[in-house]
Structure 1
Amino acid sequence: MTAVAKVVVDVPTMQTDRPFDYAIPATLEGAIQPGMRVWVGFGRGQRQVAGMVVGVESTSAFAGDLKPILAVLDYAPVLSQAGLALSKWLADTTFAFWITCIQTMLPTMLKVDTVKTVTLGTHPTQEAQALLAGASSVPVADLPEAAVARLVQQNALSLRYEAKDRAKVKTADYVVPADLDFAAEAAKLRANAAKQRELLTLLAHWRENGEEPAVASIQAVTRPQLVAAAKRGWLTLEAREVYRAPYELLDHQAHTKPLALTPEQAQVTSTITAAVTAQQASTFLLEGVTGSGKTEVYLQVMAAALAAGRTAMMLVPEIALTPQMVRRVKGRFGAAVAVMHSGLSDGEKFDEWRRIQRGEAQVVVGARSAAFAPLQNIGVFIIDEEHESSYKQDDAPRYHARDVILHRAAEAHAPVVLGSATPSLESRARAAKNVYQRLVLPHRINQHPLPPVHIVDMRQAYQQGGQGDFSKPLLDALQLRLERHEQSVLMLNRRGYSSFVMCRECGFVVQCPNCDISLTLHMDSHSLRCHYCGHEEPIPTRCPSCGSKKIRYYGTGTQKVEQALHELLPTARVLRMDVDTTRRKGGHERILNAFGAGQADILLGTQMIAKGLDFPNVTLVGVINADNGLSMPDFRAAERTFQLLTQVAGRAGRANKAGEVVIQTFNPDHYAIQFAQNHDYEGFFAQEMAIRHRGDYPPYYYTIKLTVSHPDESQAAKAIYSMSRELTAALSPAAIVLGPSPSAIARLKNRYFYQLVVKYKREPKLDETLTRLLDETQKSTRDGFFVAIDREPQSFL
């Protein structure tokens, strides 16, 4: 009896979001396992697609003839049974397609492209033969589309589908000395063949010591000489797989020693280590002030997991944080550490993923996507800066890395450590309910106090000697650091030169043609740019509306502040760190290394510089405009502002030199700024929780955001109101529905967005209704509709 493979095909629609049965050919029987990628025919035509085997059974419930599997793309499963189960859980909880979740968990190089080719058909014509020009098959992309379509319909050409697997293994040549008497070979050489004698001496030495060196590592002999020697039979050049190692230099350094722990650190470490030893799936909320030594606690807990024969996983929120954290973790564990984040090339990510899958790495450090790393036998999970919104994925599947880690930890019977100086309100509330165990590090490890924070009221700054975006106290503090040869960090959470360009005659603001948002001025490229769709256009010299030349730049960006610094403090060396200066691979690391080496006096950046950075010579932190986040129409605005200010304040005075923080604001009396000034997380938590309770917001309620978009605004509005009626009918009276309403930015990339938000505590029919709505609307995707469901969105904008 023919065995049957259950295959989820790479066709992400609701109609195909289930396994399909395929016959396993006799030649592949026993070779196909769940977790392997396969190539299959799909649909009534000749279409061929990739798929993932999610099960193998002896029989099928399908009554007709099963299509056979055409090819197997893997020799071994690329997803384990646990990985497949995780992908299904992810699909069910995020309202995403199963195949999309599978692809999210795999590196990009394991994605299979479909290449359409044509061959001569059953009734070839001269035109068809001329198109192929004697080739047996030609990619359709290389031929005129209209001619191909016509000739295929006439059976003059036949359409074929081929799989193009992106997975490419990097190889390097190694020298394998032959089993010869090299002294005898040398005696046969001419007297002047000095290079050949030198090579024979090297070969004899390598064979004697059992060495087979890489060609790239040999300095004394050139590659052509080695190739010639291989033809003489003196050696063999053997291609071997090598890894693209992104941090290879760090793998060979001497390991750092564990640091002596403070009594507070020791207590926290022993509590977590006990859970690692007992294999308890406990969740710890580690609330430690900036500079309290949370990283050393992480390292010693991971070391305890490794000593117990298990592995460890650590997530950090941003690529910008990864270089410093990688240096710390690799410094302790060396080549046992694998790194995964979006700053790596596809090849590097593929090789790091394979090292993890093969068990060659026992520690994984990475950003959000590293939560899916195929690490086995995990002893502890750590999420640093657990409050960060970057742990939430914006596109399908819209998962939160914290939820993925908690799910994996329950399966692995391993503890989770959620670390932060400013935990999310949801996590802190769970600790208050004893769902999480709260651990506290209330003091810095050097026993120095947290830096004093000075609030500058910018409403009065210009009368008191301020210039541009700088108050006099901040300028004086920067000048003092320059005189002392100390370093400063300045944060402005807005990149670009100016927020918008406006005509002073008629008030016209240059808008993006594709989005309802003003364009941001970038002086480095002399252009206006949309940060949502990427549209770019030249800076106008005349107003497009009235023709006036009175075009002015309004608002402040990092480029403008950098220019002002050069004018106000001409001797200061400034490094700017934002999305524009870190686009190239390794951009974050280059800037941070230069600053750490003392090559700049001031590090200016967006929120990416607010956390994780540890530079002993930084004694001043300045916040240019603390109000950017407060003005956002979002219920988390105060929480994010408090977290950002507290985190960036913690960059000052981390070593022996005293630190100072200057925060410029137009809202000095706002409670988020007041609590940040006093480093009072618990006070902020109490006040913000009271406000959330009055407004029926998380963590008192769960939330779901439903978004509909369409190129036609009226169509989007009709669809969201129709779905709202159906959804409301399934909800209990206790649920609260906000909307439908246009999204905060109503048009993006020429699509109109409408949304509604459901706040609820317990709604047994909610998931079922949302799944049905998604199923129904999938049939409308060809008409231009797009529906997104986001569980626990980080923003309602």
Structure 2
Amino acid sequence: MSGAGLFGQAEFEAGQRVGVLTTQPLDRVLDYRAPEGGCSTGDFVEVPLGPRRVLGVVWGPGEGSFDAARLRPVHRVLDAPPMRDELRSFIARAADYTLTPLPAMLRLATRAPGLGDNPAMRHVYRLAGGEPDRMTDARARTIAAMREHGGLAFTLGELSHLAGVSTSVIKGLVKQGVIVEEEAPRDLPYPHLDPELPGRELTADQAAASESLRQGVAAGRYGTTLLKGVTGSGKTEVYLEAVAECLKKGRQALVLLPEIALTAGFLARVEDRFGARPAEWHSGVTQTERRRLWRMVGQGGAQLVVGARSALFLPFRDLGLIVVDEEHDTSYKQEDGVLYNARDMAVLRASLASAQVILASATPSLETWANAEAGKYRRLDLASRFGASELPEMRAIDMREAGLPANRWISPELQKAVRARLQAKEQALLFLNRRGYAPVTICRACGHQIACEHCDARMVEHRFLKRLVCHQCGETKPMPEACPSCGVEGKLAPVGPGVERLGEEVTELFPEARVAVLSSDLFGSARALKAQIEAIAEGAADIIIGTQLVAKGHNFPLLTLVGVIDADLGLQGSDLRAAERTFQLMRQVAGRAGRAERPGEALLQTWQPEHPVIRAILSGDEEGFWRAEAAEREAAGMPPYGRMAGIVLSSPNLQEAFDFGNELARRDAPLRAIGAQLFGPAPAPIARIRGRHRVRLLVKAAKGAALQPALARWLAQLKPPANLRLSVDIDPQSFF
């Protein structure tokens, strides 16, 4: 079901046939009668569907296929700004590109609670003037606090916290008329950001880049720029000047971040630049705040949104700039539900909104690098670090010559470097991209490896939790005393290291050091993780042990040494992007070192120091690496020089999945018509998840091929059985 290219404003009088797109899993727009008072395209409405009332959007005129006399009326038009043509077109175009049903895409654009509720009210308090009959210290603090904030309205809790007084003090001032209590909408606009406030002093390179970005924003038309800068080069300060230009023009800006733990430091920088905090959109904000932001974005009451990938689907009134920070990060690709890449969707939305896109990274994705090389994107480079900091020196430790004892993973050379940092009162980071204690638990009596009962995956021991965890489906169970296969006790042994096991080794080697383990599974909430990162930045740990979480833009001023425990880990397997991701991850994590005045060093433990990727990481010849990687991909016709789509069939019945896949393969004429190749069906690399067997097909086509229409025609030939799920992944980032 497509909707791209059909949009325009239309008014519908009461009783007229209208088409409403609902968020329900249906395959079409539904016809209704316009309500009393009429409605317009884009209006958010509540409509009857069976015995329920559901949320929908007036998508256009009705199709006319249903008897008009039997049409049910729209129940009501919601008190919310109508969805603009730009957003409706984006939803439709994104649905067409990803082969996603329109209702599923609409759900992404309505993920806020209470959209159908009438605007709620709350009590707020303002300074009325005058003096109380008796001035106390608490009353004086309350009045002074309100005057300091220019007569703004506060809730009772906010004012109590701000002035450091009890609520009874405030209520006493209300009785005396010094403070007035009034009702105001619960969903208030966000504090005003002032783009005229001075920013940080920029270097010549930074100033030239920011001027170029500001000019692009001021032009008021679409354009995409790759802002490439080494870690610590001040990319954030540069693109915040583009945000300032956007706000000066009265337009809205969106900054996407790849990791929720990055937001605390970033929000502080925004507040420092613009005098107030921006709006936030991610899984860590409350449902009340999500509703407020959704409404304020549509009304223009939020100038800048900082958020996760789903913020792309917010109903901006006038979006002028999208920044995708760390644009290479794999977390921008949603791998379940609606499969989309936020980087690509940002470019699509900006093109429809006449907005600018800034793709910021020290190690851009090959797709972005290739688009810049081809002239589709502008490219701006920041070649040096900001201020006195220098890029870290990078060296390899050849593990073939390290003489490491069994069940140890920190080489003597790395130990020596860590101890030197401890003596200098500096921080060291040990990086290992494996969560948990050990990736495999094996029985030394029978050789059995403990696997997940529901997935084709080994269970990972998490000693801190005292449980085994499946990293595919999330299944957990207590660590058994006896082998589940042979029943022998005391023979279960961990194989290989995770960050928890590395933590044990560090504690043994450096008992005097304060050790912090940063891994997403060790924190109960995003708030706790943010607090730990802030504490580390202030010097609360001597040695940090972390997974890829630590590579994502954190700034630890005291950190001068990065030790990579297993630099070869990402090079294993046959992933199309293995070399690219290893290069990016190693360069990013090394860039955490020496970001302040003290020089940094990065040591990579590797068993294959002659590997081309390891050599490229150490040499710093990034352009040479990208050119070589691009040449390989182009010769093979692989993305970004070709098109790919992954089709995964999952079913409780393995034979059913294979039978359906084989029948699809026999009907591949629509694919052959565009010159595409079909591979499979074959078991997916992870062949079972949550008890469902997974079978994969891959489609490869030339870059200019009309892949999506051909896929749609091909898949429409067969209806999947009831228990079989079929997902289509355009431009897959992973091949599990």
Query: What TM-score do the two structures reach when normalised by structure 1?
Result: 0.82
Of the candidates 351, 354, 368, which is equivalent to residue 292 of structure 2?
Answer: 351
- 1:7 touches 1:19 (CA, 8 Å); kept in 2? yes
5+ residue gaps, structure 2, are 1-13
Query: What's the secondary structure of 1:52's corresponding residue?
Result: strand
1:99 maps to 2:103: yes
Counterpart of 2:306 in structure 1 is 365
Counterpart AA for 1:92 = D
The Cα of 1:600 is off from its aligned counterpart by 1.0
For 2:442 and 2:165, how far apart are their aligned partners in 1? 65
Indicate if the aligned counterparts of 1:38 and 1:69 stay in contact, CA closer than 8 A: no
Amino acid across the alignment from 1:784 = N
CA separation of 1:747/1:618 partners in 2, compared to 1, >3 Å: closer, same or farther?
same
Cα pair distance change 1:559/1:567, threshold 3 Å = same
Relative to 1, partners in 2 of residues 1:3 and 1:267: Cα closer, same or farther, differing over 3 Å?
same
In the TM superposition, what are the counterparts of 1:487-636 in structure 2 within 5 Å?
487-549=427-489, 550-636=491-577
Is 1:240 paired with 2:184?
yes
- Residue aligning to 1:77: 81
Q: Deviations over 1:262-299 (max 9, x none)?
A: 22222222222222222242221222111222111111
One-letter code aligned to 1:107: R
User: Within the alignment, does 1:394 sit opposite 2:407 as a pair?
Assistant: no
Aligned counterparts of 1:587 and 1:284: Cα–Cα separation in 2:
35
Q: Equivalent residue of 2:244, what SS?
A: helix
Deviation at 1:223, TM superposition (A): 5.1
Q: Please give the residue correspondences for 1:776-795 in structure 2 after superposition, counting only pairs within 5 Å.
A: 779-780=719-720, 783-795=722-734
Separation (CA, whole Å) in 2 of partners of 1:361 and 1:314:
13
Q: In the TM superposition, what whole-angstrom CA distance separates every residue of 1:609-663 from its partner, at most 9, and x where no partner exists?
A: 1131122221111111112211133111111000000011111111211100011
* 1:173 and 2:183 correspond: no
For residues 646 and 218 of structure 2, the distance between their equivalents in structure 1, rounded to whole angstroms, comes to 40
Note closer, same or farther for the CA distance 1:199–1:258 as it changes in structure 2 (3 Å cut).
closer
Distance 2:75 2:645 in 1: 41
By how many angstroms is 1:673 displaced? Answer: 1.3
Deviation, 1:531, is: 1.3
Provide structure 1 residue ranges, at least 5 long, that are not aligned to the other structure: 112-164, 187-193
Change in 2 beyond 3 A, CA 1:178/1:737: closer
User: Structure 1 residue 65: deviation in Å?
Assistant: 1.8
SS in 1 for 2:350: helix
Distance 2:461 2:341 in 1: 33
2:651·2:724 contact (CA, 8 Å) conserved in 1? yes
Contact kept? 1:731, 1:763, Cα under 8 Å: no
SS state at 2:337 partner: coil
Q: 1:161-195 CA deviation, whole Å, 9 max, x = no partner?
A: xxxx6x6977543357999x999xx8xxxxxxx89
Name the CA distance, whole Å, in 1 between partners of 2:631 and 2:125.
70
Does the C-alpha gap of structure 1 residues 542 and 722 become closer, same or farther in structure 2, counting only changes over 3 Å? same
2:15 alignment partner AA: T
Taking the aligned partners of 1:733 and 1:19, their CA distance within structure 2 comes to 30
Q: Secondary structure at the match of 2:267?
A: helix
Deviation at 1:50, TM superposition (A): 0.8
Aligned residue type for 1:671: P
- In the other structure, the counterpart of 2:71 is 67
CA contact (8 A) 1:709 1:716 kept: yes
SS class of match (2:57): strand
Q: Identity across aligned pairs (percent)?
A: 35
Distance 2:63 2:365 in 1: 50
CA contact (8 A) 1:576 1:603 kept: yes
Distance across 1 between alignment mates of 2:398 and 2:454: 38
277, 281, 285: which is aligned to 2:226?
A: 285
What residue in structure 1 maps to residue 208 of structure 2? 267
Say if 1:780 and 1:703 are closer, same or farther in 2 by CA, change over 3 A: closer
User: Alpha-carbon deviation of 1:445?
Assistant: 2.6
Q: Where does residue 685 of structure 2 map in the other structure?
A: 744
Would you say 1:19 and 2:26 are equivalent positions? no
Q: What secondary structure, in the 3-state scheme, does the structure 2 residue paired with 1:284 have? A: strand
Distance 1:263 1:220 in 2: 46
Counterparts of 1:70 and 1:286 in 2: how far apart (Å)? 48
The 5-angstrom pairing of residues 104-253 of structure 1 reads: 104-110=108-114, 172-175=122-125, 214-216=155-157, 217-218=159-160, 237-242=181-186
Aligned residue-pair number: 717
Q: Distance in 2 between matches of 1:796 and 1:210?
A: 57
1:8 Cα deviation after fit:
1.6
Report the aligned-residue RMSD: 3.5
Deviations 1:428-473 (A, max 9, x none): 112221112222222223365421112112233235x797110111
1:670 counterpart residue number = 611
Find the aligned partners of 1:370 and 1:402 in 2 and give their Cα distance.
12
> C-alpha displacement at 1:682, in angstroms?
0.9
Partner Cα distance (1:100, 1:58) in 2: 20
Q: Is the CA contact (8 Å cut-off) linking 2:270 and 2:276 kept in structure 1?
A: no
Q: How much has 1:474 moved relative to structure 2? A: 1.1
- Secondary structure of residue in 2 paired with 1:298: helix
Kept in 2, the 8 Å contact 1:259–1:296? The answer is yes
Match of 1:740, SS state, is strand
In the alignment, structure 1 residue 461 sits paired with structure 2 residue 414:
no
The match for 1:8 is: 21
Equivalence for 1:471: 411
